[in-house]
Structure 1
């Protein structure tokens, strides 16, 4: 099978696409023929050996995929061969086949093709749990979403608007804010050219936002925190800016703020009921027409370019590799 391979840590340009041995599922595992794989910012970090969890060289990067079941390992009763599935792994998705634990697979929601299915679950589950499970979002509240045209950011805008929140999109350029408005954002702030704290307060009638979703980190995190009203909630999701922010805790104390984090890899272990509820809500929203924003599709041979675009934040929504294209 063809697979992208990382043989040396560094920038995405070091990746190569080569022929490797077909994997075989072991006990409790499922073999999936991958049709599409989404590119996420953590993939860039893993290739550079800057992620919280290291991957030993050599390895196949890629964490999010969709395809069909091609084989079952010993002791696995399903899903049946030929079933459309989506899943997530730490590494291994940028290949024509991947072996994963059966429990890690999800049914593809009705209405999603493979390209959109690959871009859906991790990003939209992250956005939903950040908003609802951790952020306790409620209809009518003001929610600020940083990086609002990126993968998690665009999903958070989309879900929040559909759940009845009033969304302030924050992004680095007017064209990116236009994308967020198209997904339902009520207002936008260009945080490169505008004072994020003051604009959020103005847009929310002077009181500030109820909730901030931050997948960006860096220098804008503190400004967004300062834009919260008393008792507001701040959810840190990731650090696409490349810098982990240092928040002055006196701000949290003085305004009785709540700061929480969300990380997708552990939610199934610690909040299974919330996972089930998220699956139900997201499936309903897909039936009602929700689709992930996919801005670019590359063949597997374009994996280095795809990761570079994500690393340099030149994209909106999600970038996907089409494993069926040559």
Structure 2
């Protein structure tokens, strides 16, 4: 092995173009760590926010963005059991995925299904963990309930559609283009709605609303929340922070629930173990519900192109970076 590897380096906060390809020194392995040759890395909205300095977690400069990847183990450190060099794995990281290599704790790894490409595997963990934390841990979604998913054509929304279907809920997907609605239908949505349709909420009565968008959908979608419903605040990809008058909560006897999947995993070890078990179960068989839909693959050095597509909400499914 060489003494260095290539990564997209964020030396200053700003637009995606601030990322630059850099040669970084290979760090030593510590106890319980593995070194992975990354084949593909998932691109997520928090990556865009982190590079611009708008994300809640602000790593010190310089840093390498990216929370998920897939690749092959190069070597294992002391104390690692159950993994060996050559194993194909999915990585859950706290940064560093936009790179040719990464060092990760062994407990952060998941097995890559044999039937999945590295791109599909890299696109899985963030959306799946977010969906599980929101719908199961925080939202208490049950079989037979109605789930309304906003922004359903993106990676996070499609993860919620897939898991909602898996739980046994009736899933209604809201997405802004025919291509995104088709993706939601493939993921299992029973009904797909164009939010540009006048009075699109109609007679909808959703027990749970999964909302990674915020404004401009919040005001209209609130009409679809059933009495006693749970509204899951997952993110603000629409760019605006909605204001919720308290009387709306009172009149609907509704719950407004914030969702931070990564923070819950760090704060609540029991929930983290439950999520880990759920993701492993989700991966069993490899070809079942929840297989990510890839909307585009970019070279590592073209990470800015992928992030611009994400910022413009033009991506259908997950965008992925490949390292070759």
TM-score by length of 2: 0.91
CA contact (8 A) 1:44 1:311 kept: yes
Aligned to 1:238: 235
Q: CA deviation at 1:176?
A: 2.2
Q: Distance in 1 between matches of 2:201 and 2:146?
A: 9
Q: How does 1:1-326 map to 2 (within 5 A)?
A: 1-195=5-199, 199-202=200-203, 204=204, 208-269=205-266, 270=268, 271-284=271-284, 286-288=286-288, 290-324=290-324
Q: CA deviation at 1:272?
A: 3.6
Q: Distance in 2 between matches of 1:10 and 1:272?
A: 32
CA contact (8 A) 1:173 1:192 kept: no
Q: CA deviation at 1:295?
A: 1.0
Question: In the comparison of the two structures, how many residue pairs are matched?
Answer: 317
Q: Distance in 1 between matches of 2:235 and 2:99?
A: 25
- Please state whether the residue corresponding to 1:200 is helix, strand or coil: coil
What residue ranges of structure 1 are gaps of 5+ in the alignment?
Answer: none
CA contact (8 A) 1:214 1:237 kept: yes
Deviates further, 315-324 or 67-76: 67-76
Kindly report structure 1 stretches of 4+ aligned residues shifted beyond 4 Å.
none
Q: CA deviation at 1:261?
A: 2.1
Q: Distance in 2 between matches of 1:281 and 1:29?
A: 24
- Please state whether the residue corresponding to 1:288 is helix, strand or coil: coil
Q: CA deviation at 1:155?
A: 1.4
What residue ranges of structure 2 are gaps of 5+ in the alignment?
Answer: none
Deviates further, 223-232 or 282-291: 282-291
Q: Distance in 1 between matches of 2:167 and 2:31?
A: 40
Q: CA deviation at 1:181?
A: 2.1
Aligned CA distance change for structure 1 residues 53 and 216 (closer, same or farther; 3 Å): same
| Structure 1 residues 64-96: Cα deviation after superposition (integer angstroms, max 9, x where no partner) | 111111122333345222212212223211111
- Please state whether the residue corresponding to 2:126 is helix, strand or coil: helix
Aligned CA distance change for structure 1 residues 292 and 232 (closer, same or farther; 3 Å): same
Aligned CA distance change for structure 1 residues 28 and 277 (closer, same or farther; 3 Å): closer
TM-score by length of 1: 0.90
